[in-house]
Amino acid sequence: MNSELNILALRYALDELPDAEARAFEGRLAVDQAAREALADVVILTSAVRQLPAPVPAVANVSVGGRRSRMAAIVSCAAACLLLLVVIRMPQPGPLVSNGQSFENTEIVGAWSELGSDDLLVSEFESDFSRDDTASEIPDWMVAAVLEDVEVAPREEGTL
C-alpha cells in the first residue's frame, strides 16, 4: 500500500484538501483503482472510529482514609503550633538566680551562716542515744528453745 495515497485519501475524506488538490484527486479516482481502494479503506476506518464508544476518563479512586489522615495531620500541626505560641507568649518569671551583688543574696547567706553556728554537736547528745532501752529480759523458754539441741527428721522430697 502506498502511504502517501492513503494520507491523500484521508485528507480528501476529511475535506482538508484545497480545491485544486481536491479536483485533482477526484480526477485520479476516476481512472485509478488504487486511489478508489484507498478512499474506501479510509471511509471504513473513519466510520469505525466514529462508532467506537466515547472514551471513559479514568477516575482516580480517592480514598476517604487518606483525606482523613491528611486532615488529622493538618489539625495536629495546627494544635502544636498553637501550643508553641501559647508557651512562648506566657509571662516568663524573673531569673531564679540574681547576680551576686543583690541584697537578698547577702541576707540569705547571713541567715544560713547564723544557723550553722547554732548546730549542736552529736557528741552532746551521745549520752541520750547510748541509753539501752531495748535490753529487756529475754524469757527463759526462748533461751531454752534456742539452746536445745533438736534433731529434725529429714524431709521427704517435695514436702516443706
Tally of structural domains, the chain: 1
Q: Name every residue whose Cβ is closer than 8 Å to that of residue 42 and which is 6 or more positions away in sequence.
A: 6, 9, 10, 12, 13
Q: Give pLDDT tens digits along the chain (160 positions).
A: 588 888 999 899 988 899 999 999 999 999 999 999 999 999 998 888 888 888 788 776 656 556 778 888 899 999 999 888 888 887 776 665 555 555 556 676 666 666 665 555 555 655 555 555 555 677 788 778 778 766 656 666 765 5
What's the pLDDT at 49? Answer: 86
> Would 153 be classed as within a structural domain?
no
> Would 27 be classed as within a structural domain?
yes
> Would 133 be classed as within a structural domain?
no
> Would 121 be classed as within a structural domain?
no
93 alpha carbon, distance to own chain's centre: 34
Element (H, E) at 106: helix 103-117
> Would 91 be classed as within a structural domain?
no
Q: Which domain holds residue 23?
A: 3-51
> Would 33 be classed as within a structural domain?
yes
> Would 24 be classed as within a structural domain?
yes
What's the pLDDT at 151? Answer: 61
What's the pLDDT at 24? Answer: 92
What's the pLDDT at 77? Answer: 92
- In angstroms, the Cα distances linking 136 to 127, 132, 133, 139, 141 are 19, 9, 7, 9, 15
What's the pLDDT at 59? Answer: 75
> Would 42 be classed as within a structural domain?
yes
